[in-house]
Amino acid sequence: MVDVTYQKFVKRWEEVTDIPPQTFGPLTSLYKKMTRRLKVMPWPWFVGVSTLLAFGLYLAFGSAIASLVTLLQRGF
């Protein structure tokens, strides 16, 4: 039992240490906080930021966003 748990731990440890850790000097903790939210169920953040962006575009360009969407809709 102990061997199995230990083997699982070793396997997990090897997986985690497979890539170099990310460091940004004094900004490392901020980076970790931000990316933690993107690692598991990132959709609320994706949708939230996208909504802000879309409304920002509307505030900046007004009804001209309809032209942008027309271009995108023809872009496939």
Partner 1 sequence: MDVMSAAIVYGVSFGRTVWGLLTRPYETYRRIAGHGKLGELIFVVALLVIYFALASAVKVTAFRPFLLTRQFIVLLMGAVSSISISVGSLWVAGRLFGGKPKLEVVLLAWAYTLIPTVSWFMTTSILYVLLPPPRTTSALGILFSLLFLVFSATLLWWKVTLAYLTLRFGLKFDFAKSVGVALFCAPILFGWSYLLYKAGIFKVPFL
- Positions touching partner 1 (CB under 8 A) are 15, 18-24, 38-43, 45-47, 49-51, 53-55, 57-58, 63, 65-76
Give burial (CB, 10 Å; 0-12/13-18/19+) of 65.
middle
Please, what is the minimum distance in Å from the beta carbon of residue 3 to partner 1?
22
SS3 state of residue 17: coil
Name the residue nearer to partner 1 (CB basis): 6 or 34.
Answer: 34
Name the residue nearer to partner 1 (CB basis): 10 or 69.
Answer: 69
Please, are residues 55 and 49 in contact by the beta-carbon 8 Å criterion?
A: no
